[in-house]
């Protein structure tokens, strides 16, 4: 007897060839087709951009430069708090990375302070202090809070689901949206904010993040044309071997996506722009063997786009975390190439 629903799904998947999986040929027309389709699958985004209404909450000196906390309005009733990190001894315009935390206590990890009192230090594991990591390397950072995480965790539902993303994810589906689509829109508005600032090099905006932050780095790179560099960590794999085989949070799922494309295809929408994929060899929820397989698929797309040397996989020796000392030198070389 076969009683397990996922057993049936695995059988179904084994016969499924995603409709727009890259199978050779010209990259640009394939990208256009897949991008159009993916835009539909991630759901609706607001038709009109509202005013950002930027407010500054505080600004203070840091040994690595200057940090300010701001908030901008992404769409009505969706405010996005963020830290702006400006490196010491670097003249604007700045190269900026938008930094995204995953399922953690929130964006406060990016600058290693406590969430409820930003004046107090906080110990951060696995190099997740992305904002400080950027500043150390002369890069500016915009560390935003993703929907359902940290300061934007659900607090207004009558009975909040046990899993933090569940209420927002399910409501989004009923509204013809997805949480990934909504979070991506916040990243798009973060780029509007950088443009509004006037001190960012708008041709050198990167996205980076770990786990759920890796997810959004990948989808933002695929669908937001103003993203120039991407460094997704602890996410790149195959859908089949990760979110379809191992329990993951509901915010990972996009209705109908696997009928259309695998993850390598979605990352392939970013070719020929530089991408550094970061992964731990012992990641239990995004297995490295599948990551390597997906990377070979991605290399095929980059090679066909004439940019094989612009996609990189950096493998760290531990689990599900970021590896700053291994990843940044590769990305810094790519940034230098953009500047030459």
Closer residue to Zn ion in complex, CB, 35/248: 248
Coil, strand or helix at 80: strand
N- to C-terminal Cα distance for the chain?
63
Closer residue to Zn ion in complex, CB, 57/175: 175
Q: Cα–Cα distance between 88 and 71 in angstroms, integer?
A: 23
Closer residue to Zn ion in complex, CB, 64/180: 180
The piece of 158-166, 180-188, 258-266, 301-309 that touches Zn ion (CB under 5 A) is 158-166
Please, what is the minimum distance in Å from the beta carbon of residue 237 to Zn ion?
17
Please, what is the minimum distance in Å from the beta carbon of residue 178 to Zn ion?
12
∠ CA 195-200-203, rounded to 5°? 85
Closer residue to Zn ion in complex, CB, 2/159: 159
Please, what is the minimum distance in Å from the beta carbon of residue 263 to Zn ion?
17
Q: Cα–Cα distance between 96 and 245 in angstroms, integer?
A: 35
Please, what is the minimum distance in Å from the beta carbon of residue 259 to Zn ion?
23
Say how many residues touch Zn ion, by CB under 5 A: 3
Please, what is the minimum distance in Å from the beta carbon of residue 117 to Zn ion?
25
The total number of residues written for the chain in this structure: 340
From residue 237 to residue 276, what is the string marking binding to Zn ion with x (rule CB under 5 A)?
A: ------------x-x-------------------------
In angstroms and rounded to an integer, the radius of gyration of the C-alpha atoms of the chain is: 19
Closer residue to Zn ion in complex, CB, 177/312: 177
Coil, strand or helix at 171: helix
Please, what is the minimum distance in Å from the beta carbon of residue 243 to Zn ion?
11
User: What is the b/e burial string over 120-132, where b = at least 16 CB atoms within 10 angstroms of the residue's CB?
Assistant: eeeebebbbbbbb
Q: Does 165 bind Zn ion (CB under 5 A)?
A: yes
Q: Cα–Cα distance between 290 and 311 in angstroms, integer?
A: 17
- Residue 39's CB is within 10 A of a number of other CB atoms, namely 14
Closer residue to Zn ion in complex, CB, 137/152: 152
Binding site for Zn ion (CB under 5 A): 165, 249, 251
């Amino acid at each position: 007897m076969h009683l397990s629903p996922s057993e049936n799904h695995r059988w179904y998947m084994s016969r499924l060839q995603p409709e727009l999986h890259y199978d050779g040929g010209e990259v640009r027309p394939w990208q256009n087709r897949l991008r159009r389709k993916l835009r539909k699958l991630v759901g609706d985004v607001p038709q009109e951009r509202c005013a950002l209404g930027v407010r500054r909450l505080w600004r203070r000196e840091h040994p690595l430069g200057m940090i300010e906390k701001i908030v901008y309005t992404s769409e009505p009733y969706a405010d996005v708090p963020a830290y702006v990190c400006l490196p010491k001894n670097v003249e604007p315009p700045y190269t900026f990375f938008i930094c995204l935390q995953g399922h953690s206590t929130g964006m406060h990890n990016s600058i290693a302070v406590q969430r409820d009192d930003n004046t107090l230090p906080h110990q951060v594991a696995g190099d997740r202090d992305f904002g400080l990591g950027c500043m150390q390397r002369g890069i500016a950072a915009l560390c935003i809070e993703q929907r359902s995480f940290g300061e934007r965790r659900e607090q207004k539902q009558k009975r909040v689901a046990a899993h933090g993303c569940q209420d927002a994810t399910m409501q989004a589906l009923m509204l013809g949206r997805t949480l990934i689509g909504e979070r991506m829109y916040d990243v798009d508005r973060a780029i509007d904010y950088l443009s509004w600032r006037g001190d960012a090099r708008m041709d050198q905006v990167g996205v980076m993040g770990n786990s759920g932050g890796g997810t959004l780095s990948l989808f933002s790179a695929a669908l937001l044309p103003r993203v120039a560099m991407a460094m997704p960590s602890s996410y790149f794999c195959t859908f089949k071997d990760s979110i379809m085989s191992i329990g993951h949070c509901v915010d990972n799922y996009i209705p109908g996506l696997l009928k259309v494309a695998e993850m390598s295809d979605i990352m392939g929408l970013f070719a020929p722009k530089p991408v550094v994929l970061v992964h731990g060899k012992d990641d239990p929820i995004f297995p490295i063997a599948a990551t390597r397989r997906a990377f070979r698929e991605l290399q095929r797309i980059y090679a066909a786009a004439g940019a094989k040397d612009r996609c990189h996989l950096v493998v760290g020796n531990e689990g599900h975390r970021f590896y700053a000392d291994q990843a940044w030198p590769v990305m810094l070389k790519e940034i230098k190439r953009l500047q030459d």
